[in-house]
């Protein structure tokens, strides 16, 4: 697993690629010092004493969180989301997170929740967690929303992904974990004092294609995209 960390521009390897793309997110949710991985497969995950991990999920992230918890055997955090009659949303923690290593997963599911509503719920959840004295807050974003608007095409346009990361940092996030940024330059959008780790799914996708397509022959199959960025 190759992780690109944009806080000091370091890179490291933590082991062999897993068959499923989401395994990249699962494994990288623990820091380099907490994972013992070999080319023979994952070994026991070491948790720093005094900072037990807990994973919270924004509505729409259920599938990814279930896979993550099944892989890591960590505890799922308890929280409640409510929507008022006027459309405003509310978030309430239902457990203590004091001195905990907190992970908040926000995966995109357009069939369950609208993206802007999901982001507002995420902001409120981060703020609620930060108010309860956690050890660290890591935001897991398999897809960094608004990432395609990463530059000004014409004068007067905003740069939403930069604003989004800054807002999450203000709410209380310490670290961001995402995959395959639309533009590598977005690594510089990470707010001061925060860490942005970017994972690459290339090997996982290649493995999935090789093992899923019947009679796969690399000399006969071609992977295409609508543009260079899609590759």
Euclidean distance between CA atoms 170 and 190, whole angstroms? 12
Q: Is the pLDDT of residue 140 over 90?
A: yes
pLDDT given at position 26: 57
DSSP, collapsed to helix, strand or coil, labels residue 34 as helix
Band of pLDDT at residue 227, cut at 50, 70 and 90: low
Strands (E), the chain: 2-5, 10-13, 35-38, 41-45, 53-57, 75-76, 79-83, 89-93, 101-105, 136-141, 175-179, 195-199
Band of pLDDT at residue 12, cut at 50, 70 and 90: very low
Convert the pLDDT of each residue in 36-48 to its tens digit: 444 444 555 666 5
Q: Is the pLDDT of residue 20 over 50?
A: no
Kindly state the average pLDDT of the residues 51-70.
91
- Token pair 């996982």 in the structure block, residue: 204
Average pLDDT, the chain: 80
Kindly state the average pLDDT of the residues 165-194.
84
């Amino acid at each position: 697993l190759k992780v690109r960390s944009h806080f000091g521009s370091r890179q490291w390897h933590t082991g062999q690629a897993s068959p499923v793309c989401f395994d990249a997110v699962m494994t990288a949710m623990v820091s380099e010092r907490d994972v013992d991985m070999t080319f023979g497969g994952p070994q026991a995950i070491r948790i720093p004493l005094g900072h037990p991990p807990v994973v919270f999920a924004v509505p729409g992230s259920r599938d990814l969180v279930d896979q993550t918890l099944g892989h890591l055997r960590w505890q799922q955090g308890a929280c409640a989301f409510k929507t008022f009659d006027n459309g405003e949303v509310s978030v309430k923690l239902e457990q203590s997170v004091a001195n905990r290593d907190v992970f908040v997963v926000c995966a995109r599911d357009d069939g369950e929740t609208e993206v802007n509503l999901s982001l507002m719920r995420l902001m409120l959840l981060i703020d609620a967690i930060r108010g309860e004295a956690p050890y660290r807050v890591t935001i897991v974003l398999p897809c960094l929303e608004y990432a395609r608007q990463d530059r000004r095409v014409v004068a007067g346009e905003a740069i939403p992904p930069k604003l989004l990361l800054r807002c999450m940092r203000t709410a209380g996030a310490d670290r961001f974990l995402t995959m395959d940024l639309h533009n590598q330059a977005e690594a510089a959008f990470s707010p001061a004092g925060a860490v942005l780790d970017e994972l690459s799914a290339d090997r996982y996708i290649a493995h999935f294609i090789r093992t899923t397509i019947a009679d796969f022959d690399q000399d006969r199959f071609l992977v295409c995209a609508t543009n260079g960025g899609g590759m």
